[in-house]
A and B are shown apart, each in its own frame.
Chain A
Amino acid sequence: MKIAYYPGCTLKTKGKSLETSALACMTALGIEFEELVRWNCCGAVYSLADDDLIHVVAPVRDLVRVQQAGHDKVITLCSMCYNTLARANELMRTDEEKRKTINDFMDEEPDYTGGVEVLHFLDFLRDEVGWDRVKEKVTRPLAGLKVAPYYGCTLLRPKEIAIDRVDKPEVMHDFLQALGAEAVDFPGAIQCCGAYQVLGNPEAALKVSHDILSDATAHGAEALALTCPLCDYNMSKRQDKMLQQYEGAKEVPIYYFTQLMAIAMGIPIEECHFELNRESSVQLLKAKNLVAG
């Protein structure tokens, strides 16, 4: 049965390497998916104000689209989209009064009661595909590649929508091991990269992102795998600033988890759009003989 796929705004532009690599992997795994025909921006952040329901309308509308397309599950790749859709879904499932208000407000749409299940590609791989099937598809194990799994905030918090244990997640560790890489766990894996504070307090965001990368390398990681285009911006695109600003800062190649998966599955490198990564990302793969040098 086909599964619905929700991309989100960034995955069509600055984060397209996350989308193209993931979709190529899904195809290789035999997962039939269908991009929602009329999706809209999820709003990026879930509204934290009890009296602000208008910002829940956008993600709920996306969930209505999933149902209209005849699906009961939707896969997301961007972890901020995952969080926003999953939290809006949770609200519609648990808060009768707010559910009624939102449904009344969206009177042009069919009523929505939380019937869709929102998944992130990582928990979909764990629970519905299974690591064994992933391993079967690995043709070029990422042997000798020491990668730190980085979760950030939105896959794990709050716990109602967490895809794994909030304090000690394992899903990305298992994912990397399934690809043949060496997963290097580190405490910073669940720390915040500064997120949207790159706009309000760019120096603070730079420092917390730098702390995460230093922590990862101090634990022996050569690279970092992540799931979110905002984390990628803060840690990859702004890394040059860290290298200039912080004494002892080291170059750390950053990958979307799906790019590593695509390489391990022998998918053509063009699908990874490595031109959007740091140069060191491809260099490291070449040094490990994982891509043609």
Chain B
Amino acid sequence: MTEQTDFVQIRHAQKSFGELEVLKDISLSVDRGQIVAIIGPSGSGKSTLLRAINDLDALTGGEIWLDGTRVNKDLPHRQYEKHINEMRQQIGMVFQHFNLFPHLTVRENVTMAPMLLKGLSKDDANALAEEQLDHVGMLERIDYYPSQLSGGQKQRVAIARALAMKPKLMLFDEATSALDPELVDEVNQVMKTLAEEHMTMIIVTHEMDFAAAVCDRVLFMDKGVVVEEGPPEVIFKNPTQERTREFLRKHIEGAK
């Protein structure tokens, strides 16, 4: 067992669907408090990589480590279940399509996991929920149902729901891709605040401007490999790889 000094470590991640190799030997380290953006064309494997970190889509090869513990441990089924559930409490995830629980109010969406998994009392959980929802600016809608909220509002609640578990790491899977343009800003604001509070974040995104403004590091992925990696100034202004240049060119033109 090598000592893992980095906060988040991905070692030789590999993922195949039958014949198709979606991730080809990816290794990556993230320090505590770092904000990492992963960009790339669709099919590049960036979402798959993100979802492998909390083992939502298991890798076919390679290891994921968080703060000294291996996430995707090789264990018999029952022990594995227990282990992964514990690990997932430490990793928050925000989805492109929010995935709020429609049958629960905003309050209940946020309090459910803390009460169920951490044994919080109803009062403590409510206080926690109010704190988190206030943090994302959704406190006044606390007793609404998700169906009564706009996309941006839903996503902010989803972020609060994830934060309520006090995770060590937050994963964002194209958190603003499904939002109308006017609603993107409110979510970006929340993410910016989180970054300023030194939450460790890995963000898969199409928004280059946001990535440039908020992130410490940017990874460009294409066809299952990390093509290039570096600080935003380098990647966005002076990429060394031709593939990176091409992608950025297309992307900026497309945005125009």
Decide whether A and B are members of one complex: no
Chain A residues packing against B (C-beta within 8 Å): none
